Chain A
Amino acid sequence: MQKINKNVVLALLSLTSLVFLLFQLYYYKFYLSQKNGAVFSKVRGSQSGQDSTRWHVVRKFLGLISSHNIPVYLIDPLILRLVDKDIEQIRSSPDGPSPECKYFCAPRDFTTFALLDKTWKHEVGLFRTAEKMGFQWLKIVNKDPRLDGMDDLSGTEIPLHYIFKLASHAIHLVVFYERSGNYLWHGPLRLKQHMDRKFVPFRKLHFGRHPGAYEKPELLHVSIDDLKVQIPKNPSSFLEEMSHSRFLECRYKEARAFFQLYPDDASLDAVEFRKKAKSLLHLAALTLNNLGVKFWLSSGTCLGWYRQCNVIPHSKDVDLGVFIRDYKADIIPAFQKAGLPLKHKFGKVDDSLELSFQGEDDVKLDIFFFYEEDDHMWNGGTQAKSGKKFKYLFPKFTLCWTEFVELKVHVPCETLQYVEANYGPDWKVPVKMWDWKSSPSNVQYNGVWPVEEWDDVIQIY
């Protein structure tokens, strides 16, 4: 009885395992039949035997684009990281044959290239040739952000991403557009409803989760793994740029709605102030960028960007934020050299630092330095006559790029929280009378400077 029982159990178990084995085979077949080993291989983590596939696909792709005279450059972060380590050697022998396949043979799903939109137009022929060569391709188009603005324009959608797939490898071609403010922009990758979501494992792409902004890179012709490609001249700075490249578009739709409610001030004074504020911002950006000091639009200037995509005409100054860790002693002389004398300096590097520079005709440039705590950030304020200190608290934020008055500048990515912290929930309503000591909703009284420090922490010129 017992024996029979055991046999039955044994047989049952064998049967079950057989069923599972069949299941496994079925799954394997299912994924193979999709010509898409990605999902499966991701689970298994084994991709042996793909090494040369990648190299061949890249070579074919480079052949394809060079036959159409399309200048692309390599922006694949994984390869650039490897290249960066050997950059000296690669630079010194740009045509030297490589002894081994070092860069293009690491098994990956993708290799990423960039394309400058204005260097290329005729795509029909390219796709035809690509198909002949065995590539499957996918084109992702979307709205042209350069038409976004206060005017309601709509044009032909523009290509943002191309994916060329051959065998188990895919080439991701990111289209970069030049935009006002002398920078390059690439769009997000968004699939439309009818698109094949399984074409490639999209979420593994290095570009496309967000739109991004980049400087125009200098390019270098190199030969790596016997493939001639162009790469950014300085791969490490490109990689650094890539890690904070996220771009936010101004909220033009909301801005239009704002101006419906509160018509824009079109007076000559407003026009003049905007013009001055714009040129002051351009000058400040140039100066700080030259010093390598990262800054963002803060306070009223940030509100202007977020709420109305323009300078608020009654704001009377330009406000920038800088992390105190990026503070440099050269900032003051650099601004003076640029024609912006120091107007006042409050606080010190350790505490509540704030600099003000005098721009053209009463337009003032305020630089607030931000101090980071465990769970928040803050900047300080000082009342000159009483030596009172104030603290403005902000939730933690990161920086994103945006375009403002034809300038590529940073803003807090979490702009709404930032603006709400500063201006409260009614930030959408314009306020002409603003008291920096009491109006902000995030202000805290922070004691008084000791009188003996006044000469140092309250400097007015």
Chain B
Amino acid sequence: MDEWKPNPAIKPHKKRSWYLAWKYKLMNQRALRKLCQTGAVLFLLVTVIVNIKLILDTRRAAYEEEEESAQDYDDEMLNVEVPRHPVNNKKVLDVEVYSSRSKVYVAVDGTTVLEDEAREQGRGIHVIVLNQATGHVMAKRVFDTYSPHEDEAMVLFLNMVARGRILIFTVKDEGSFHLKDTAKNVLKSLGSQVAPFLSWRDMWTFVGKKGGEVYGEKHAKSPALSTWGDPVLLKTEVHLTSVEDAECHWPDTELTRRRKRFCSKVEGYGSVCSCKDPTPIEFNPDPLKDNKVFDVPVAVIAGNRPNYLYRMLRSLLSAQGVNPQMITVFIDGYYEEPMDVVELFGLSGIQHTPISIKNARVSQHYKASLTATFNLFPDAKFAVVLEEDLDISVDFFSFLSQSIHLLEEDESLYCISAWNDQGYEHTAEDPSLLYRVETMPGLGWVLRKNLYKDELEPKWPTPEKLWDWDMWMRMPEQRKGRECIIPDISRSYHFGIVGLNMNGYFHEAYFKKHKFNTVPNVQLKNVESLRKDAYETEILRLLGEAEVLDHSKNPCEDSFVPDTEGRVYVMFIRMEQEADFTTWTQLAKCLHIWDLDVRGNHKGLWRLFRKKNHFLVVGVPASPYSSKKPLSVTPIYMEPPAKEEGAVA
């Protein structure tokens, strides 16, 4: 049993060995564990650090990115779009219209959109067109229906306004004297009860929708001839329709987008905005073969006559060989509507902060436009200069393409112009004929870059000089004896009747009957004979061939020129020296051509047509062509009328 007793000697030994082993193991493990622990801790620490670094890096990178773009690539200018009219989501507009002798105003939702209390101005019927969906003002007009024919213009305008638009009328001072029945009927058809009976010095306001409801009308009768009706104030509400209802459903194209934008903003452009059959805004005229002016920039000088600009651009874009990419419209002032017209046609427009006043303002605008044109097209050797009140002939570019090389090669040329000052219906005949003239006609012309850059630009009249740019260009210091080439039949037509130097009477007298070429692809004849020396040969040949008219007759009479066709006739007038235009002016007057100053002369010679015959006038003895005068002929002298009359253009 003892044997089975546990041996204490062994036990401790055993125990000790186990303990030792265990201890040893334990020690070993502890070291390992410590190692592991330390390793793990270190590893984790490293991971943590790396991670922190990663996060910081990423953060910083992202931050720098922002910082960078903020500093380097930020646009310093804020492009804040100013809405044209406060945007309102309201469905109802409050409209206030006031009519009185000396003041009218219209307020839409508290915003005054028309206010006219100027004395001696703004007489007649004021018309405002609002967009029926947005309430924006689309057109503002005043028709002085106290004066004749203005009512016709109003009818024309009202007919052009699209159905559904909101129309606001108000009378200032007097609006009935020349308001004829046609106009009254149109107003009646718009829903006005009063218009047909509107009479002398009545006050009247009216708000209605074209082809729809009437929102309000007020009227104050004038009690006596010498007094005006009491002022009237109409307050009414107009219900807006949805945008979709106000827009046409044209197919979605780039062109349509331009059209939609235009039509939602402005009114009074007729069928451009017609839903059913809108007039085209892209014309694609035939290209010209061998077009030498395809890369010549075209500068259109414009002011705030958007309807004119519209008509002008239509004719320009319809001319054969036009290159719309070369056209830039320069608008004198920050007017929106002309810019809308430019954008409608997809052209580029530039606005110019006005400098100075009146003629000087126009002159500064010309300079800025020409400078910018040559900056925008640094390759160009020429620029075509047009104005917003010109119709452009279908063969305008063809005419220039055939003649432009002369301007490049012949140093004695100042310009090529599309306008013949003396080319009236009864004095111009041959679309293929060109002249050299000493006067610069303007109204559609080509300017050589080096002439502008080297001579004109550096000494262009400064703003404080109230000069006309064209008068300045005609001065001998600038022209230096150089001449312009012009066609017999003008390639432009001046239709503007409102303008700085223009009024209806003046236009009727001097511009209305101007001849304008409508024949496409005219082949100009004998272009080379327009060079300096060749032209002299040509003139001498013509004079040699010409029949001398009977100088005993009155040159103003029709019978002065025989009833023939296609002949060449010459007459001699008295012209003591180069600047003596006494007789010429009288002759021009009785021939009903330009007589306000001397135009269209070449060395004391004028060329025009009478009764379809080429008609030459030579000033003797100043003209070098005087030698062609037969000895027997006495030059005609015409006395100026005793009292000075006539205005200056």
Q: Which residues of chain A have a CB within 8 Å of any CB of chain B?
A: 6, 9-10, 13-14, 16-17, 20-21, 23-24, 27, 31, 39-40, 42-43, 121, 124, 142, 144, 146-147, 149, 151-156, 178-182, 189-193, 197-198, 201-203, 208-209, 264, 266, 268, 271, 274-275, 406
Which residues of A are found within 8 Å of B330, using beta-carbon distances?
153
Report the Cα distance A23→B328, complex, angstroms: 58
The 8 Å CB contact of B349, one of A9, A42, A155, is A155
CB under 8 Å from chain A, chain B span 33-53: 37, 40-41, 44-45, 47-48, 51-52
Q: Could you tell me if B378 and A192 are in contact, using CB atoms closer than 8 angstroms?
A: no
Task: Given A23-B55, A121-B325, A406-B453, check contact A9 B352 (CB 8 Å).
Answer: no
Which residues of B are found within 8 Å of A23, using beta-carbon distances?
51, 55
Which residues of B are found within 8 Å of A193, using beta-carbon distances?
75, 78-79
Chain B residue at minimum C-beta to C-beta distance from A157: B79
Q: Could you tell me if A156 and B459 are in contact, using CB atoms closer than 8 angstroms?
A: no
Report the Cα distance A147→B76, complex, angstroms: 19
Which residues of B are found within 8 Å of A24, using beta-carbon distances?
51, 54
Q: Could you tell me if A156 and B348 are in contact, using CB atoms closer than 8 angstroms?
A: yes
Report the Cα distance A202→B62, complex, angstroms: 12
What are some 8 contacts across the A-B interface (CB < 8 A)? Answer: A43-B61, A146-B375, A149-B371, A151-B352, A153-B350, A191-B75, A202-B73, A203-B68
Report the Cα distance A274→B457, complex, angstroms: 12
The 8 Å CB contact of A271, one of B352, B355, B458, is B458
Report the Cα distance A27→B79, complex, angstroms: 35
In this complex, the member of B37, B70, B458 whose beta carbon has the largest number of chain A beta carbons within 10 angstroms is B458
Q: Could you tell me if A17 and B73 are in contact, using CB atoms closer than 8 angstroms?
A: no
Q: Could you tell me if B62 and A39 are in contact, using CB atoms closer than 8 angstroms?
A: yes
Task: Given A13-B44, A39-B58, check contact A151 B378 (CB 8 Å).
Answer: no
Q: Could you tell me if A10 and B58 are in contact, using CB atoms closer than 8 angstroms?
A: no
In this complex, the member of B72, B353, B453 whose beta carbon has the largest number of chain A beta carbons within 10 angstroms is B72
Q: Could you tell me if B54 and A154 are in contact, using CB atoms closer than 8 angstroms?
A: no
The 8 Å CB contact of B48, one of A16, A197, A201, A275, is A16
Least Cβ–Cβ distance between B312 and chain A, in angstroms? 19
- Interface status of B269 (Cβ within 8 A of chain A): no
Which residues of B are found within 8 Å of A153, using beta-carbon distances?
330, 350-353, 368, 372
Q: Could you tell me if A192 and B47 are in contact, using CB atoms closer than 8 angstroms?
A: no
Report the Cα distance A398→B441, complex, angstroms: 51
Least Cβ–Cβ distance between A41 and chain B, in angstroms? 10
Chain A residue at minimum C-beta to C-beta distance from B348: A156
Which residues of B are found within 8 Å of A152, using beta-carbon distances?
352-353, 355
Q: Could you tell me if B376 and A146 are in contact, using CB atoms closer than 8 angstroms?
A: yes
Least Cβ–Cβ distance between A39 and chain B, in angstroms? 5
Which residues of A are found within 8 Å of B352, using beta-carbon distances?
151-154
Which residues of B are found within 8 Å of A178, using beta-carbon distances?
378-379
Q: Could you tell me if B65 and A198 are in contact, using CB atoms closer than 8 angstroms?
A: yes
Q: Could you tell me if B44 and A16 are in contact, using CB atoms closer than 8 angstroms?
A: yes
Q: Could you tell me if B68 and A190 are in contact, using CB atoms closer than 8 angstroms?
A: no
Which residues of A are found within 8 Å of B72, using beta-carbon distances?
202-203, 209
Least Cβ–Cβ distance between A428 and chain B, in angstroms? 22
Q: What are the 3 tightest A-B residue pairs by CB atom distance, in nearest-first order? A: A151-B368, A152-B353, A20-B51
Chain A residue at minimum C-beta to C-beta distance from B33: A6
- Interface status of B74 (Cβ within 8 A of chain A): yes
- Interface status of B192 (Cβ within 8 A of chain A): no
Interface string of B323-364 (1 = CB under 8 A from A): 001001010000000000000000011111101000000001
Q: Could you tell me if A147 and B41 are in contact, using CB atoms closer than 8 angstroms?
A: no
Chain A residue at minimum C-beta to C-beta distance from B325: A121
Report the Cα distance A149→B350, complex, angstroms: 13
Q: Could you tell me if A190 and B375 are in contact, using CB atoms closer than 8 angstroms?
A: no
Least Cβ–Cβ distance between A378 and chain B, in angstroms? 33
- Interface status of B252 (Cβ within 8 A of chain A): no
Q: Could you tell me if B61 and A39 are in contact, using CB atoms closer than 8 angstroms?
A: yes
Q: Could you tell me if B57 and A17 are in contact, using CB atoms closer than 8 angstroms?
A: no
- Interface status of B69 (Cβ within 8 A of chain A): yes
Q: Could you tell me if A180 and B374 are in contact, using CB atoms closer than 8 angstroms?
A: yes
Least Cβ–Cβ distance between A431 and chain B, in angstroms? 23
Least Cβ–Cβ distance between B336 and chain A, in angstroms? 13
Which residues of B are found within 8 Å of A149, using beta-carbon distances?
368, 371-372, 375
Q: Could you tell me if B41 and A9 are in contact, using CB atoms closer than 8 angstroms?
A: yes
List 7 other contacts, CB 8 Å, given A13-B41, A13-B48, A146-B375: A9-B41, A13-B45, A40-B58, A144-B376, A190-B75, A191-B75, A193-B75
Q: Could you tell me if B353 and A43 are in contact, using CB atoms closer than 8 angstroms?
A: no
Least Cβ–Cβ distance between B70 and chain A, in angstroms? 8
Report the Cα distance A181→B453, complex, angstroms: 13
The 8 Å CB contact of B367, one of A151, A182, A189, A264, is A151
Q: Could you tell me if A182 and B378 are in contact, using CB atoms closer than 8 angstroms?
A: yes
- Interface status of B2 (Cβ within 8 A of chain A): no
Q: Could you tell me if B378 and A179 are in contact, using CB atoms closer than 8 angstroms?
A: yes
Q: Could you tell me if A181 and B378 are in contact, using CB atoms closer than 8 angstroms?
A: yes
Least Cβ–Cβ distance between B536 and chain A, in angstroms? 32
Least Cβ–Cβ distance between A22 and chain B, in angstroms? 10
Which residues of A are found within 8 Å of B410, using beta-carbon distances?
none
Report the Cα distance A14→B36, complex, angstroms: 14
The 8 Å CB contact of A154, one of B51, B75, B328, B350, is B350
Report the Cα distance A146→B368, complex, angstroms: 12
Chain A residue at minimum C-beta to C-beta distance from B379: A178
Task: Given A39-B65, A43-B54, A142-B75, check contact A271 B48 (CB 8 Å).
Answer: no
Report the Cα distance A154→B52, complex, angstroms: 52
Q: Could you tell me if B462 and A180 are in contact, using CB atoms closer than 8 angstroms?
A: no
Least Cβ–Cβ distance between B295 and chain A, in angstroms? 9
Q: Could you tell me if B349 and A156 are in contact, using CB atoms closer than 8 angstroms?
A: yes
Q: Could you tell me if B54 and A17 are in contact, using CB atoms closer than 8 angstroms?
A: no
The 8 Å CB contact of B351, one of A16, A21, A154, is A154
Which residues of A are found within 8 Å of B69, using beta-carbon distances?
191, 197, 202-203
Chain A residue at minimum C-beta to C-beta distance from B40: A10
Q: Could you tell me if A208 and B73 are in contact, using CB atoms closer than 8 angstroms?
A: yes
Which residues of B are found within 8 Å of A154, using beta-carbon distances?
350-353
Q: Could you tell me if A155 and B348 are in contact, using CB atoms closer than 8 angstroms?
A: yes
The 8 Å CB contact of A124, one of B66, B73, B254, is B254
- Interface status of B454 (Cβ within 8 A of chain A): yes
Q: Could you tell me if A197 and B378 are in contact, using CB atoms closer than 8 angstroms?
A: no
Report the Cα distance A368→B74, complex, angstroms: 39
Which residues of A are found within 8 Å of B376, using beta-carbon distances?
144, 146-147
Q: Could you tell me if A27 and B350 are in contact, using CB atoms closer than 8 angstroms?
A: no
Least Cβ–Cβ distance between B448 and chain A, in angstroms? 15
Report the Cα distance A124→B254, complex, angstroms: 8
Interface string of B611-640 (1 = CB under 8 A from A): 000000000000000000000000000000
Chain A residue at minimum C-beta to C-beta distance from B253: A124
Which residues of A are found within 8 Å of B353, using beta-carbon distances?
151-154
Report the Cα distance A151→B355, complex, angstroms: 9
The 8 Å CB contact of A20, one of B40, B48, B62, B79, is B48
Interface string of B356-397 (1 = CB under 8 A from A): 000000001001100110111011000000000000000000
Q: Could you tell me if B61 and A151 are in contact, using CB atoms closer than 8 angstroms?
A: no
In this complex, the member of B41, B66, B69, B254 whose beta carbon has the largest number of chain A beta carbons within 10 angstroms is B69
Report the Cα distance A182→B328, complex, angstroms: 21
Least Cβ–Cβ distance between B56 and chain A, in angstroms? 10
Least Cβ–Cβ distance between B260 and chain A, in angstroms? 15
Least Cβ–Cβ distance between A357 and chain B, in angstroms? 22
Interface string of B67-90 (1 = CB under 8 A from A): 011101111101100000000000
Report the Cα distance A192→B80, complex, angstroms: 11
Q: Could you tell me if B68 and A202 are in contact, using CB atoms closer than 8 angstroms?
A: yes
The 8 Å CB contact of B73, one of A20, A190, A275, is A190
Report the Cα distance A146→B371, complex, angstroms: 10
Q: Could you tell me if A191 and B73 are in contact, using CB atoms closer than 8 angstroms?
A: yes
Q: Could you tell me if B41 and A10 are in contact, using CB atoms closer than 8 angstroms?
A: yes
Least Cβ–Cβ distance between B342 and chain A, in angstroms? 9
Report the Cα distance A203→B462, complex, angstroms: 46
Q: Could you tell me if A268 and B372 are in contact, using CB atoms closer than 8 angstroms?
A: no
Least Cβ–Cβ distance between A46 and chain B, in angstroms? 14
Report the Cα distance A297→B76, complex, angstroms: 29
Report the Cα distance A124→B257, complex, angstroms: 12
Which residues of B are found within 8 Å of A208, using beta-carbon distances?
73
Report the Cα distance A144→B55, complex, angstroms: 43
